[in-house]
Chains A and B, each alone.
Chain A
Amino acid sequence: MSEPRIMLTGMAINEAMDIAMTLDPKVFLLGEDIAEPSGGVYKVTKGLSEKHGLHRVRKTPISEQAIVGAAIGAAIAGYRPVAEIMIMDFLAVCLDQVTNHAAKIRYMSGGQTTVPMVIRTSAGAGMGFGAQHSAMLETFAVHSPGIKVAVPSTPADAKGLLLTAIFDDDPVLFVEQMMMYWDKSYAGEVPVGDVRVPFGKAAIRRDGTDVTLISYGRQVHDCAAAAELLAADGVSCEVIDLRTLVPWDEAAVMQSVGRTSRAVVVHEAVTRCGFGAELSSRIHEELFGQLSAPVQRVGSANTPVPYASNLEADFIPTVADIVAAVQRTQG
């Protein structure tokens, strides 16, 4: 293996699909506009149809139920489809296929049939797309037993987690925050070749002793920035990047919070009933007597995503919100 390279997130995701299709003829892609000349609306599938053929990089009609349904059938029949749902809000259009079929089929069949497919979807606010093209809806899937959920925060994880997702025998919802695709500030080193990142194994992004920040996806970077600011005030933050929500690394979280006795959970999804609610509950259940402060939650406002740039900026949790939440735990 040669040296890791600096890559953008979109390139890393593209490389994971390229490697998977090269490794295994059963892997194919389907989705709207994913083939050349467009290569996907975000260019994430750029070049793949030229390299692997239009039979394996399949443009579909604008039919989300048909896309996910076809992926489910092909997966049961032995393929490893990677379906793209262009924008996460569109999951609502095909949620029956996701929650009633992809997630439940292994269980309903008593383990006779499995659905080894990935639903890749771009998500998140910050692009000025308004309420129906910006939401983070990962808890749709978290609340549907039988489907795994990954939300990468770095290009290396985007590649490594996607490779794991494609070769996993269960359906996976793979959430790509669109703000990260081509923004150089999220660039990072990416190993060459088929290097996979396991599910259910959190990454400690920063060691600390006073408070644990638990996050996933793009907001991990905000947590790191908050930790940097707080360090100047003498508050030492540990930053845990969950990487996957189903399964999630409960041991890493409990071990860290058991040590720091304070926790702040951070995500872009709206706070109410977000994954942070589950994290907070589990921490209280396990560590109530050892906590020095109640677990704090930081998420988006409990509103649809607004359009105007000032409102959108207020909607998304900020570094300042995270700093304030950490300060609430200090007393």
Chain B
Amino acid sequence: MSDVERPDAPDRDTLLQMFEIQSRIKLCDERLRSMLMSGQVRLIYYSPRGQECISAGWGVHLRKDDYVVTIYRGLHDHLAKGVPLRELWAEFLGRATGTCKGKGGPMHVTHPESGLMVTTGIVGAGIPIANGFGLAAQLSGTDQVTVVNFGDGATNIGAFHEGMNLAAVWKLPVIFVCQNNLYGEHTPMSMSTGVDYISERAAAYGMPGVTVDGNDPIATWKVMGEAVQRARSGGGPTLVEARTYRFWGHLMGDAMEYMDKAERKAAMAADPVVLYRAWLIDNAHATEAALAEIEEQVTAAIDDAVEFALNSPQPDASELYTDVFGDESAATLNGASR
């Protein structure tokens, strides 16, 4: 963000709503990483730190009844879709009070009440499934849209190709959001991908494709709004490539030898949440005190959620055998017993 005013910016409420979502993501991530580093909790964690503006950018355009599909690096998307903090933290910590009773974990967070429908641990696999949500909306004649999030690495797997093609052929109301953080696991995009911009691939499917600076919250908000509007009005799918950077590598504990140190340092110095905060103040969209108050409220909500999660029990042993099938008779017969 530059320090100049942006004529393309949304209204003040939307600007602050985006800041609130970004702060939730940033502060949740910071809390979780500090708990991991101090050994207070143990879990596999894929930090979305650095990618906050993208989720906030689509988050403010969606209704509660719109659908979101995401991946193992999904905390930012969960929060942007409104998954409640207590249940989300409890799920991350594998507690009975979690969104999925502790049976899914961070890689499989599901909260249909918020419209967070699927979190998958399989690269690219959410793309064909998102089409199903789009198809359901199209068949029902509703104007619900589906946002499916994935990384740049996912655009090299077959499911991406199959899913993009079907969405274009059926004109499904799906927004394909490629959060291009420039790395697929431990490999830079330049070593795995033959195009400079993922959005170029949209042309192969007869679908609009657009690249946006995913660290620019205003530009991202605008592009997401156009794609959501297109989908909602029957104009079909869009591929949005939002370019960004992941601050903490593939997963926590990753030594990041494959990342350029100077590149990472520069990206962290240009922290999009910090820059956006300064821009809001510099351009008189909010006072320092108003933003600090939002952050304090978010911090208090996180304090409450962490305490709730830590004080919650693990799932009852009987949960091992439930939710395999809808009719437990099938499970009892021989479906889920040893």
Contacts and interface: CB of A to CB of B under 8 A. Distances in A.
A112 B112 contact: yes
A285 to B, nearest CB: 11
Contacts of B323: 106-107, 109-111
A77 B136 contact: yes
Interface stretch (B160-168, B189-197, B299-307): B160-168
B111 to A, nearest CB: 7
Interface in A248-302: 248-250
A170 interface: yes
Interface in B102-135: 102-104, 108, 110-112, 117-118, 120-122, 125, 127-135
A168 to B, nearest CB: 8
A194 B181 CA distance: 53
B101 interface: yes
Contacts of B165: 61, 63, 66
Interface size class of B (residues with CB under 8 A): 35 or more
B162 A66 contact: yes
A304 interface: no
A145 B169 contact: no
Contact of A145 (B99, B118, B326, B336): B336
B93 interface: no
Interface in A106-148: 106-114, 145-146, 148
Interface stretch (B247-255, B263-271, B288-296, B327-335): B327-335
Contact of B326 (A106, A246, A250): A106
A66 B174 CA distance: 14
A169 to B, nearest CB: 4
B159 interface: yes
Nearest to B137: A77
A65 B129 CA distance: 9
A247 B104 contact: no
A239 B154 CA distance: 50
Contact of A61 (B67, B129, B169): B169
Given A66-B128, A66-B162, A170-B326, A110 B136 contact: no
Given A65-B162, A66-B163, A112-B110, A106 B132 contact: no
Given A74-B135, A76-B118, A246 B163 contact: no
A73 B132 contact: yes
B100 A106 contact: no
Contacts of A248: 333-334
B166 A97 contact: no
A250 B334 contact: yes
B122 A96 contact: yes
A68 interface: yes
Contacts of B334: 246-248, 250
A14 interface: no
Nearest to B104: A108
Interface string A46-65: 00000000010000110111
A288 to B, nearest CB: 18
B323 to A, nearest CB: 4
B132 A113 contact: no
Contacts of A69: 125, 127-132, 159, 162-163
Nearest to A282: B334
B122 A100 contact: yes
Given A112-B100, A146-B325, A250 B127 contact: no
A114 B323 CA distance: 9
A101 B126 CA distance: 9
A220 interface: no
A263 B261 CA distance: 67
B274 interface: no
Contact of B125 (A55, A71, A97): A97
A61 B166 contact: yes
B128 A70 contact: yes
B39 interface: no
B84 to A, nearest CB: 13
Contacts of A181: none
Contacts of A169: 326-327
A10 interface: no
B135 A70 contact: yes
Contact of B333 (A76, A79, A200): A200
A73 B324 contact: no
A174 interface: no
B326 A66 contact: no
Nearest to B332: A247
B125 A28 contact: no
Nearest to B337: A250
A247 B336 CA distance: 10
B101 A110 contact: yes
A148 B128 contact: no
A109 B323 CA distance: 9
A114 B162 CA distance: 24
Given A110-B104, A148-B335, 8 more contacts: A61-B169, A70-B128, A70-B131, A73-B132, A77-B117, A79-B139, A170-B326, A250-B334
29 contacts: A28-B139, A66-B128, A66-B159, A68-B128, A69-B125, A69-B127, A69-B163, A70-B129, A70-B131, A70-B132, A71-B132, A73-B133, A73-B134, A73-B135, A74-B133, A74-B139, A75-B132, A77-B132, A77-B133, A100-B122, A101-B118, A108-B110, A110-B100, A110-B323, A111-B101, A113-B117, A113-B118, A170-B325, A250-B333
Interface of A: 28, 55, 60-61, 63-66, 68-79, 81, 96-97, 100-101, 105-114, 145-146, 148, 168-170, 199-200, 246-250
